[in-house]
Amino acid sequence: MKLGMLTACLPELPLESIARWAATAGYEALEVACWPETGGRDFEAAHLPIASMDQARADQVRAVMSACGLTISALAYYENNLHPDATRAAGFHTHLRKVIDAAALLEVPYVGTFIGRDWTRSVTENLRMAEPIFRSVVDYAGERGVRIIIENCVMEGWHPDGYPGNLAYSPELWEWMFDLGLYLNWDPSHLTWIGIDPVATIAPYADRIVHAQAKDIEVLPGAIERYGFFGKAVAREDPWDVGWWRYRVPGRGQVDWNAVVDGLYEHGFTGTLSVEHEDPVWGGSEDKVKAGLVIAQQTLRPLIIA
């Protein structure tokens, strides 16, 4: 197992600068953010020139990683592949294929994305729509020696009423997507707030958990009694503010990291555990973000065999 980090939390820094810092901070791998360079939402970044990537540029990136003693564990492009706007969805699909091409040039084994959801349709309709889309993506990636990994994030902010916006949040849906040839970028934080014991999901799906993310979650005392499980309904100005929990860096929330790492080891996980920093306490500036990443490293490093 390697300890890595997702680069999206440092969108203003070039990849080489992140790599140098990550190596000195005790990280071994980078999960590289690959959104388009036109900009986007918080926790998105364009750390590789996907549109213009060629073998020469890939060789340069690999040389930088090698000089820093790092590997690239996965390329990250998490978008709504079932978006109800057909034009936007087509753009996401096109860029996803370019990210797969870049992974092949870089000899990176995984590309991460979301299933997504068309929130105007039922879950059953969405799954029917998704099958040909993802079979095609899996085939495209497989021809290039790349596997597609799906994060089990709920993406409640994508739904107008705060319901799941990414149909990969539960083991029931994992089994559906595994049948399409997809793998899992497993994140215990999302399971925790929807009432699923994350450690209990490791053993049954160990052969499909090929990459994992380390993000913690803090349940705010008493808040669920006001808002209920689905979160704020009337005063939800920010679609991501459910009102009763928030993301934290590992060690500052309620995930049992000893049990998580031990469970991954017990069931043969040999991939990268990649810190995904979305902690509002340790955010807002480069220095604070890096401090949060240090906290995460200090929490996880003693649990991972060097």
The amino acid present at 165, given as its one-letter code, is: G
Q: What is the pLDDT of residue 181?
A: 98
Q: What is the pLDDT of residue 38?
A: 63
- Contact residues for 57 (Cβ-Cβ < 8 A; gap 6+): 49
- CATH code: domain of residue 258: 3.20.20.150
List the structure tokens of 94.
Answer: 């096109």
Q: What does the longest C-alpha to C-alpha distance in the chain come to?
A: 56
Contact 303, 221 (CB under 8 A): no
**Global confidence as pTM:** 0.97
Q: Which residue do the tokens 């799941």 mark?
A: 164
φ, ψ of residue 108 to 5 degrees: the values are: -95, 130
What DSSP character marks residue 46?
B
Mean pLDDT for each consecutive 10-residue tract of the chain (306 residues)? 98 97 98 85 89 97 98 98 98 98 98 98 98 98 98 96 96 98 98 97 98 98 94 92 97 98 98 98 97 98 91
Q: Look up the domain containing 94 and give its range.
A: 2-303
What gap in Å lies between CA 281 and CA 247, rounded to an integer?
9
Kind plus residue range of the DSSP H or E element containing 151: strand 147-151
**DSSP notation for 154-219:** --GGGSTTS--SSS-SSHHHHHHHHTTT-EEEE-HHHHHHTT--GGGGTGGGTTTEEEEEE-EEEE
Task: Give the count of domains, the chain.
Answer: 1
C-alpha to C-alpha distances, 181 to 11, 118, 141, 175, 264, nearest whole angstrom: 31, 21, 10, 10, 21
Q: What is the pLDDT of residue 42?
A: 75
3-class SS of residue 21: helix
**DSSP-derived pairing of the beta strands 2-6 and 29-33:** parallel
**DSSP-derived pairing of the beta strands 2-6 and 216-219:** unpaired
Cβ neighbour number for residue 167 with a 10 Å cutoff = 23
Helix axes 55-68, 86-106, angle to 10 degrees: 60
